[in-house]
Structure 1
Amino acid sequence: MTFKPLLSVLAMTLAGCSLTPDYRRPEAPIPQAYPQGGAYAAPAPQRAALIDGQALFNSPALQQLLGLALENNRDLRKALLNVAAYRAQYRIQGSALLPDIAIDGAAARARTPADLSSTGDQVTGADNSLQIGLTRYELDVWGRIRGLDRSALQTYLASEETQRSVRIGLVAEVAVAYLTWQTDQQLLAVTRSTLANYQHNLQLIQSSNAAGTASDLDVRQARTLVFSAQGQVQAYTRQVAQDANGLRLLLGTNIPARLPVADLDAQTLTPIPAGLPADLLRQRPDIRAAEHQLLAADANIGAARAAFFPSITLTAGAGTASSQLNGLFDSGSQSWSFIPQIHLPIFTGGRLGASLDYAKIQQEIGVVNYEQVIQSAFREVADGLAAMGTWDAQLKSQQDLVRASDEYTRMALQRYDEGVDNYLTLLDAQRQLLSARQKLLNDQLAKWCAHIQLYKALGGGWTEKRA
């Protein structure tokens, strides 16, 4: 009778032993579809999937800036280095599954005084050895090391998703910063043009006042417009400089010269398909990272459970030993050792139980975190869809207000020139026109920022799938 088949079955059984709980993805605590109603665009059947967000932007200038940011931004570099660090940690942990084999050589000489020697004479001895051996290799019978290895793998994969999240966030931040910079430049240009018009009107009114056809009150009212516009010019000048500084920080390098000015009236981003399915959220990198962390927590539970069971370690070596260095390879100098050890924990002061409780609590925290991330993501997407469903109508209303204010200003100027109304009416019309033009630019910026935030909320973009 041979024990070889029995030993093979036993080895296979032990190798497959795992105390890690079976993973079941938690139910997403969100509806199956996004909200509907007056704030949302009419849903349409869509099959959509995420795409690289850079393809979402149509502006050549913005594409150029995004390329610079992805190459030079320091936050993204740190995220990439973190991924490399977690990859190295995973490789370190994985090495525990394999035995360490080393070659050790030693040469020692010692002198024993006569009064300590068993022969009564001083003794000078030598001990030379050369061995190749297995250094304390643990048999992973209960899956403890495999559990730690899986935990390290999932942590590494989570860091990759975190890096993707940083990348998506950087793309969104650069896009918002660039459009804000361009908008503030347009606001500065509009305010400067209006200031020049106010100054021209002030000169005319001063001339009319000198001729006795305009009152001192008219002059003072005209000056208030000039002073107000001068203050706004300085504010926008400062804001444009600060916008450039912020964009430069995001790029990690200087802003290229001669970038084309963005036209906020033109389409800057790829249109969003209506009726995006809610399961797109599972592609968000922060949700995927949370799930990897949950898987790591499950693996840690398995490792904590395995710590209750006996551990078996092997130490072995083979080589030669001799009192003379030149006798290491002589006949009869061979040596070997084989030292199996078993460790069975009996009393640990509650450490193992507390470790298991901690692992289970961390797994529960991971479930809560996973659900919370999904709920936050759903809210962000729903808010973005509500914004995109209402901004077009709001912009049209603001454009109508600008046209109406422009007509009102022309009529007020005509009536003032004809002496029908006083300058206060014209003053009010001019203020309203400038405010309406500025708000239109800010509303256009807000629309595109909402579009970009929706891109970010969806995890980096979208495209329609062909059936």
Structure 2
Amino acid sequence: MSHIKRHIMKTSLIAMAAAALALLAGCSLAPTYEHPGAPVMQTWPTGAAYKTADPGATAAAASNTPVSDLEWREFFIDERLRKVIALALANNRDLRVSTLNIEKARAQYNIERAAYLPKLSASVSQTATRTPSTMTGSGEAAISRQYTGGLGIASYELDLFGKVRSLTEAGLQSYLGTEEARRAAQISLVAEVANGYLTLMADQERLRLAQDTLKSQQTSYDLSKQRFKAGATSGLDMYDAQTSVETARSDVAVYTAQLAVDQNALTLLVGSVVPAELMPQGELAAVSKLAPLPAGLPSEVLQRRPDVLEAERALIAANANIGAARAAFFPSISLTASAGSASSTLSGLFKAGSSTWSFIPQISLPIFEGGVNRANLGIAKVNRDISVAQYEKAIQAAFREVADALAQNGTLDERMDAQQALVDASAKSFRIHEARYKKGAESYLDSLVSQRALYTAQQNLISARLTQAGNAVTLYKVLGGGWQPEAGLATTGND
């Protein structure tokens, strides 16, 4: 009876020990992760530069779709631009490097995760020993052989204090951070391609304007020469007309070269030659919708951006590393075990009675490390504080980018109206001066001044249209356009 009681007590102790080990193995010494507050204002900036209307009440936002959920194919309505962006996403080398970095981080995470499991290896070996005749006693040398084979576990560390778990969590967050970096790179690439495409369109319009102006000024110059030869005007009018012709001719050359530069820049972004049929055609206004403005609080909108999510992943990884640094203060238990067969002959290997085994548990307790563990813990905590500051800086930089884009967007309509009115007024002024010159009522200089004012106003109108289209692209980018946020960030901490 006492034998049965002792057996029950022994079994209970083993079960309790196993439960304790399982509980310890599930623990982590990392501090509980706390999401930092957004170090920015809780509302978007207001003032003379910003629109006073509800920022969510734009035509493009009528569907109440957040910008981060609006895919670039839905935002850009020009079919040629869509195809150019698709080419860039397939061929851009920087984006390809970002994708490869994800594969690299995934492999590194798998390495960290593999530490959870013991490493099992199989081996078969032979040991041969020759004993010289002077030592055998028989007068002849002897050769002895031993064959062994089996399975073994080498130095498997029990994760009693969560060191492996913390390192695995850090590896996971680093891997997820590279995915966010790739998403941010894609958003930036889409915006860069769109802006490059828009710039090319604007320079095409500038070139056409310069060519039309050259043609018009050439006609005026020819008329001035005829009137000069007829003695109706002085040579000054003819030379004034010639300066206008040469100015327009210079602009044609400048914008012709600029178009080639724009095409080269677009080719680099796309990663391949852009087919001629995909080159921009038409006007800037037909390329993109008006970007929806944020309809939520800054802290809600900004935390959907991939670069901000990447910074938070880095913060969670730094928090997990504190757990690994704390675990270094506690004992570590590693197990080495093997089981197999041994025999003096190869044929006798794995036969009955040849089995062997070994079990070597090892406990390592840090007693004196010269302050290394304490220093490593201090480094881990400082790295966490650095990551907090970097995360907060990412939020602040994102807020500033959105605020800048909103400030520009708030004044663009007024700027466009004023610039269009200036073009219309300059065109009327030029027509009046040109008619008066043809009737001989005034010198060509007055007509030339009004023509140059019209040309400058038309160039500035093209620049204003480019700014308006570029602002829509910028808003789309800085609001995290096109990427839905993760359902929730994986966190580490004490269970």
Which TM bucket (shorter chain)? over 0.9
CA distance in 2: counterparts of 1:350 and 1:14, whole angstroms: 26
Alignment-derived partner of residue 219 in structure 2: 200
Deviations 1:204-263 (A, max 9, x none): 111111111121111111111111111111110011011111111111122122235142
Change (3 A) 1:162 1:116: farther
* Counterpart check, 1:285 vs 2:306: yes
How far apart are 1:271 and its partner, in Å? 4.0
Alignment-derived partner of residue 235 in structure 1: 254
* Counterpart check, 1:295 vs 2:319: no
CA distance in 1: counterparts of 2:294 and 2:159, whole angstroms: 52
CA distance in 1: counterparts of 2:329 and 2:18, whole angstroms: 25
Alignment-derived partner of residue 209 in structure 2: 190
Question: Secondary structure of the residue that 1:340 maps to in structure 2?
Answer: strand
CA distance in 1: counterparts of 2:439 and 2:53, whole angstroms: 55
Change (3 A) 1:219 1:183: same
Alignment-derived partner of residue 344 in structure 1: 365
* Counterpart check, 1:11 vs 2:21: yes
CA distance in 1: counterparts of 2:138 and 2:206, whole angstroms: 103
- Residue type of the alignment partner of 2:362: Q
CA distance in 2: counterparts of 1:300 and 1:233, whole angstroms: 61
CA distance in 1: counterparts of 2:367 and 2:135, whole angstroms: 43
Question: Secondary structure of the residue that 1:147 maps to in structure 2?
Answer: helix
CA distance in 2: counterparts of 1:243 and 1:115, whole angstroms: 91
CA distance in 2: counterparts of 1:312 and 1:357, whole angstroms: 24
CA distance in 1: counterparts of 2:114 and 2:483, whole angstroms: 40
- Residue type of the alignment partner of 2:240: Q
Q: Choose the corresponding residue for 1:429, options 438, 443, 450.
A: 450
Q: Choose the corresponding residue for 2:401, options 360, 364, 380.
A: 380
* Counterpart check, 1:212 vs 2:231: yes
Deviations 1:110-130 (A, max 9, x none): 323335668775221212110
Question: Secondary structure of the residue that 1:102 maps to in structure 2?
Answer: strand
* Counterpart check, 1:329 vs 2:339: no
What is the alpha-carbon root mean square deviation over aligned residues?
1.8
- Residue type of the alignment partner of 1:429: S
Change (3 A) 1:308 1:121: farther
How far apart are 1:273 and its partner, in Å? 3.9
- Residue type of the alignment partner of 1:361: V
- Residue type of the alignment partner of 1:444: R
Alignment-derived partner of residue 265 in structure 1: 285
Question: Secondary structure of the residue that 2:32 maps to in structure 1?
Answer: coil
Alignment-derived partner of residue 378 in structure 2: 357
Paired residues of 2:115 and 2:164 also in contact (CA < 8 A)? yes
How far apart are 1:437 and its partner, in Å? 0.7
TM-score norm. by structure 1 comes to: 0.95
Paired residues of 1:130 and 1:319 also in contact (CA < 8 A)? yes
CA distance in 1: counterparts of 2:428 and 2:472, whole angstroms: 32
Deviations 1:145-201 (A, max 9, x none): 100000000000000000000000000001000011111011101101101111111
How far apart are 1:12 and its partner, in Å? 2.8
Within a 5 Å distance, the mapping from 1:96-111 to structure 2 comes to 96-111=115-130
CA distance in 1: counterparts of 2:483 and 2:139, whole angstroms: 91
Stretch of structure 1 that moved more, 351-360 or 259-268: 259-268
Change (3 A) 1:210 1:156: same
- Residue type of the alignment partner of 1:154: Q
Question: Secondary structure of the residue that 2:276 maps to in structure 1?
Answer: coil
Question: Secondary structure of the residue that 1:254 maps to in structure 2?
Answer: coil
Change (3 A) 1:346 1:462: closer
Identity among equivalent positions (%) equals 43
Q: How many residue pairs align between the two structures?
A: 463
Change (3 A) 1:98 1:405: same
CA distance in 1: counterparts of 2:356 and 2:18, whole angstroms: 29
CA distance in 2: counterparts of 1:292 and 1:200, whole angstroms: 66
How far apart are 1:4 and its partner, in Å? 3.4
Alignment-derived partner of residue 459 in structure 1: 480
Paired residues of 2:319 and 2:384 also in contact (CA < 8 A)? yes
Paired residues of 1:301 and 1:360 also in contact (CA < 8 A)? yes
Gaps of at least 5 residues in structure 2 are 1-8, 57-63, 485-495
Alignment-derived partner of residue 187 in structure 2: 168
Paired residues of 1:58 and 1:270 also in contact (CA < 8 A)? no
Q: Choose the corresponding residue for 1:53, options 66, 69, 72.
A: 72
Change (3 A) 1:166 1:393: same
Q: Choose the corresponding residue for 1:31, options 14, 29, 41.
A: 41
Alignment-derived partner of residue 304 in structure 1: 325
Change (3 A) 1:291 1:119: farther
Paired residues of 1:202 and 1:222 also in contact (CA < 8 A)? yes
How far apart are 1:330 and its partner, in Å? 2.4
CA distance in 1: counterparts of 2:97 and 2:36, whole angstroms: 31
How far apart are 1:431 and its partner, in Å? 0.9
Stretch of structure 1 that moved more, 272-281 or 99-108: 272-281
* Counterpart check, 1:441 vs 2:462: yes
Stretch of structure 1 that moved more, 366-375 or 353-362: 353-362
Paired residues of 1:43 and 1:275 also in contact (CA < 8 A)? no
CA distance in 2: counterparts of 1:20 and 1:269, whole angstroms: 47
TM-score norm. by structure 2 comes to: 0.90
Question: Secondary structure of the residue that 2:285 maps to in structure 1?
Answer: coil
Change (3 A) 1:64 1:140: same
Paired residues of 2:126 and 2:147 also in contact (CA < 8 A)? yes
Alignment-derived partner of residue 245 in structure 2: 226
Deviations 1:300-356 (A, max 9, x none): 000001011111000101000112111102222111000000111112222211111
Alignment-derived partner of residue 245 in structure 1: 264
* Counterpart check, 1:138 vs 2:167: no
